[in-house]
A and B are shown apart, each in its own frame.
Chain A
Amino acid sequence: MDFWFSEAHTPNVKLSIRVDRQLYSGKSEFQRIDVFDSPEFGRFLTLDGYMMLTEKDEFIYHEMITHVPMAVHPRVRDVLVIGAGDGGVIRELAQYPDIEHIDMVEIDPLVVEVCKKYLPKTSCRLNDERLTIHYEDGLRFIRSCENAYDLIIVDSTDPFGPGEGLFTLEFYGNCSKALREDGILINQHESPFYPEDAAACQRTHKNIVASFPISRVYQAHIPTYSSGHWLFGFASKKYHPLKNLDETRWNMRGISCRYYTTTLHKGAFYIPAYVEELLKDVE
């Protein structure tokens, strides 16, 4: 039997992963949800046929989206996480004892249910007592928040489908309003490589720049995402991601990571010339 999962990264390029077996397939009000086992990447989750995470490389994404702001902000107490139904971001955040409360806003309860059952490696801390899960549209949730969070992490799907609203100017404006005056916004920022992804990347950057005085982009290598070259956004009203990085403070925490180090933190903000240029075009 020749059983492969394929995702088109462009109309002319696809990534295929050999599948052992399909563990789950279901359809929620918002999307189709599938879970597979594969020899190379272990268990993986797809939404509407788009790769969300694999057991093999999810650590890269989740460490980079979480520890970068945590090594900059001196005292994070209240965190808002949007999306993140797989629990990966929560798992990383749960390692910080000084975080007092986490609101997680996921539109699709079925994603959480499926991840709890089939993806224990990411969903393992969804029972943390500091966590409140809200099942609603992120854009709606944040509309009424004001001056309430130190950190917002936007772990969204792609800028089409149910996650569309999380790439818009109105959303980032609401984020700015929801953050305290020294708050940080981190978002998954798509890939700069293929033209269609790059266009989404530019639109997103343009919208964030319009809403925050400090807005920088950093990168990571994520093998199963389009082109493998992935970006994250760091936006803040006060802190600079490099000037305000406190390496000693973070390293003293003794959090063990497989991708993130405070040295890599600095390197991640040095991005290729073509990416710098496409971002500068919209600043």
Chain B
Amino acid sequence: MLSQERAPIFEALQAFEKRRVVPFDVPGHKRGRGNRELTALLGEKCVSMDVNSMKPLDNLCHPVSVIREAEELAAEAFGAAHAFLMVGGTTSAVQAMILTVAKRGDKIILPRNVHRSVMGAMVLCGAVPVYVDPACDEELGIPLGMRLEDVKRAIQSHPDAKAVLVNNPTYYGICSDIRSIVKLAHQAGMRCLADEAHGTHFYFGENLPVSAMAAGADMAAVSMHKSGGSLTQSSLLLAGPAMSEGYIRQIINLTQTTSGSYLLLSSLDISRRNLALRGKEAFAQVVSMAEYAREEINRIGGYYAFSRELVNGDSIFDFDTTKLSVHTLPVGLAGIEVYDLLRDEYDIQIEFGDLGNILAYLSIGDRLQDIERLVSALSEIRRRFGKSRAGLMRQEYIEPRVLVSPQKAFYADKESLPLKETVGRICSEFVMCYPPGIPILAPGEQITQDILSYIEYAKEKGCSMTGPEDPDITRLNVLKGGY
């Protein structure tokens, strides 16, 4: 076993570069010579590293040398039995998890505030969702974690379900009691999967919520490119000892590119090394910056930058203190309005704004001086644009009514109706409020008046609504005929 100081893919690329191999293979830009403008944009170094799979560099579809070694190092660093380097974003890692554990008609227990990639995977494989209501914080209007009682009840009502999926944490940094959920799932003979798109740092930081692998989960999708520092679109899929490595690889290869990018792969390799060697100190610094920002933001007045004080032992079992979520309604502004003002007026881009909150993403690349800008801009936004609190609707959890499997609904005969005429019909497409990309409607769900009001309101507030065939969402596709 190599040490964590090594980065086998990166090292192989360096050795390969020194050999000055003449390329009569793809990619056709030939170390950038065939595309000068691209080279000028990205730099010679970058385009010369954009190479094809070959013997000295291994092959992502069937790794036997340097990619395999990099995966073994990643598995060790994350405390997993196996790790898979992913180049299709964490979406591809989530899809691989679902496709590994479920086939057509199989049930999966999951919270409604799952990422769209989970819903997409169910359309692909024909699995059927069993939703657990994530509790909702009345004050903040955000979806929380799954209550243990609710998971228990779902497992009892659906003993044939194949797996339970857990967000660890949610976009807002809220964690369910994943250790106990793993136990419940395993006792019932189910797998436990974790969407850790926002939890890479749990594996390395101190005093952070427990990671899925440490909690005994069977698989986890980890966005290395979020808090881990690798390039956008690179990700990791982790698996526990009970899973078959070979079968997961087969599943991944169903949809994964056969031309995996070495820029992405080497970025995963280098980032894993960095996290293993320096992650503890780096994330301690992120936490201290987030704590400082919370203190300063809460001193402005009105805003509420929330944290651990929300922990209630159940639906908020733990809180990820690196997340800087701020409740904005008390200053009379929707989160999305503050999000827009920060960008348009102050040249500050944050991760998202929903109806009541904003989230600023802090990571190992942040500087204190930029935190000062964010805090000052929030203070100015309150001074210049603040209103009284009245008249703002809260973001309510609307319980989905799944009448048909997502796959069946997605592929069924459908008709397009004006929004107002769709009440009572079964929707055949997704409606998301993005970010954070949580479904308002998913294929197979009945449309209600509450849902339509919510869509209208979110549109009016400037949330980016995506999913339907009609981009303006004045019409929705519904299943033909009655149901």
Name A's B-contacting residues (CB within 8 A). Answer: 137, 139-140, 142-144, 162, 164-165, 168-171, 173-174, 177
Contact = CB atoms under 8 A, between A and B. Distances in A.
B369 A143 contact: no
A143 B375 contact: yes
B378 to A, nearest CB: 9
Contacts of A162: 369
B373 A170 contact: yes
B403 interface: no
A169 B372 contact: no
B472 interface: no
Nearest to A174: B376
A168 B384 contact: no
22 contacts: A137-B369, A139-B369, A139-B373, A140-B296, A140-B375, A140-B376, A143-B300, A162-B369, A164-B373, A165-B373, A165-B376, A168-B373, A168-B377, A169-B345, A169-B377, A170-B373, A170-B376, A170-B377, A170-B380, A171-B376, A173-B380, A173-B384
B368 A170 contact: no
A169 B380 contact: yes
Interface in B338-357: 345-347
B379 A174 contact: yes
Contacts of A173: 376, 380, 383-384
Contacts of B368: 137
A103 B346 CA distance: 27
Interface in B222-243: none
Nearest to B380: A173
Nearest to A173: B380
Nearest to A29: B368
Given A170-B380, A173-B384, A174-B380, A139 B345 contact: no
A145 B197 CA distance: 40
B369 A165 contact: yes
Nearest to B377: A170
Interface of B: 296, 299-300, 345-347, 368-370, 372-373, 375-377, 379-380, 383-384
A136 to B, nearest CB: 10
Given A165-B370, A174-B376, 6 more contacts: A143-B296, A143-B300, A144-B299, A165-B369, A173-B384, A174-B380
Q: Name the 7 nearest CB pairs between A and B, nearest first.
A: A170-B376, A170-B377, A173-B380, A139-B372, A170-B380, A140-B372, A137-B372
A168 B346 contact: yes
Contact of B379 (A164, A165, A168, A170): A170
A170 B346 contact: yes
Nearest to B348: A170
Given A137-B368, A162-B369, A177-B383, A169 B346 contact: yes
A213 to B, nearest CB: 15
Contact of A143 (B345, B347, B370, B379): B379
A236 to B, nearest CB: 19
Chain A CB within 10 Å — which of B300, B377, B379, B380 has the most? B380
Question: Interface centre among B345, B373, B383, B384, by most A CB within 10 Å?
Answer: B373
Nearest to A168: B373
Contacts of B372: 137, 139-140, 165
B372 to A, nearest CB: 4
Q: Which of A142, A143, A144, A170 has the most CB of B within 10 A?
A: A170
Nearest to B383: A177
Contacts of B383: 173, 177
A237 to B, nearest CB: 15
A262 B290 CA distance: 50
A168 B373 CA distance: 8
A144 B380 CA distance: 11
A142 B296 CA distance: 13
Contacts of A170: 346, 373, 376-377, 379-380
A173 B383 CA distance: 9
A113 B370 CA distance: 26
A162 B346 CA distance: 18
Nearest to A177: B383
B347 to A, nearest CB: 8
Contacts of A137: 368-369, 372
Nearest to A136: B372
B398 to A, nearest CB: 37
Contacts of A169: 345-347, 377, 380
A142 B345 CA distance: 19
A168 B372 CA distance: 11
A195 B296 CA distance: 37
A165 B379 CA distance: 14
A143 B370 CA distance: 14
Contacts of B346: 168-170
A170 B380 CA distance: 6
A5 to B, nearest CB: 27
Report which residue of B346, B347, B369 has the largest number of chain A beta carbons within 10 angstroms of its beta carbon: B369
A176 to B, nearest CB: 9
B343 to A, nearest CB: 12
Contacts of B299: 144
Contacts of A164: 369, 373
Contacts of B379: 143, 170, 174
Contacts of A144: 299
A161 to B, nearest CB: 9
B297 to A, nearest CB: 11
Contacts of A171: 376
Nearest to A138: B372
A169 B384 CA distance: 12
A174 B375 CA distance: 11
A11 to B, nearest CB: 15
